[in-house]
């Protein structure tokens, strides 16, 4: 595959994802989040340490800190001292945070599902297989 083709595929993928995100942004905002905060919140249970979260999301640590402070102020997560290492903070999603995460991810899933609905079942399966292979 030539670089031009790879760039075109990357661009199509990016445009698709941005269209889905833009389409549900107002509904996610109505939950009290912006989409980036939703992505941060959705990864906290699997990656509860801010530095680990930043690495997972490919975000600068100071950016994650800003999101964590906003999410904490909104009551969606809390910071706790890690009992195993008192120098570290461990993030904990609150019940309200779980609720908005579930709703926000459902909005994204439904919007992306509508796009996937343009493909046959076999095409959807192939796309999933190819994306897993690329990941």
CA nearest neighbour of 49 among 38, 64, 39, 36: 64
Average pLDDT along the chain: 93
pLDDT at 47 over 90: yes
pLDDT at residue 3, as a whole number? 60
Q: Where are the domains of the chain?
A: 3-134
Q: Are 42 and 105 in contact (CB under 8 A)?
A: yes
Res. 1 pLDDT band, cuts 50 70 90: very low
pLDDT at residue 96, as a whole number? 97
pLDDT at 122 over 70: yes
pLDDT at residue 27, as a whole number? 97
Res. 84 pLDDT band, cuts 50 70 90: confident
Res. 30 pLDDT band, cuts 50 70 90: very high
Q: Are strands 77-82 and 85-93 parallel, antiparallel or unpaired?
A: antiparallel
DSSP the chain: --HHHHHHHHHHHHHHHHHHHHHHHHHHHHTT--HHHHHHHHHTTTS-SHHHHHHHHT--HHHHHHHHHHHHHTTSEEEEEETTEEEEEEEEE-HHHHHHHHHHHHHHHHHHHHHHTTS-HHHHHHHHHHHHHH-
β-bridge partners, 77? 93
What does the pLDDT look like over 97-110, one tens digit per residue?
A: 999 999 999 999 99
Q: Tell me the fold of 3-134.
A: Arc Repressor Mutant, subunit A (1.10.10)
């Amino acid at each position: 595959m030539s670089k031009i083709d790879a760039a075109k595929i990357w661009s199509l993928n990016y445009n698709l994802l941005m269209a889905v995100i833009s389409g549900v942004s107002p509904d996610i905002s109505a939950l009290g989040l912006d989409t980036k905060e939703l992505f941060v919140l959705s990864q906290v249970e699997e990656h509860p340490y801010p530095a680990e979260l930043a690495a997972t999301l490919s975000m600068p640590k100071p950016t994650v800190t800003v999101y964590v402070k906003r999410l904490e102020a909104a009551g969606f997560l809390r910071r706790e001292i890690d009992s195993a290492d008192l120098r570290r903070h461990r993030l904990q999603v609150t019940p309200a945070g779980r609720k908005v995460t579930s709703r926000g991810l459902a909005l994204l899933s439904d919007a992306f599902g509508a796009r996937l609905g343009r493909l046959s079942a076999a095409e959807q399966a192939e796309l999933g297989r190819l994306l897993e292979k690329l990941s």
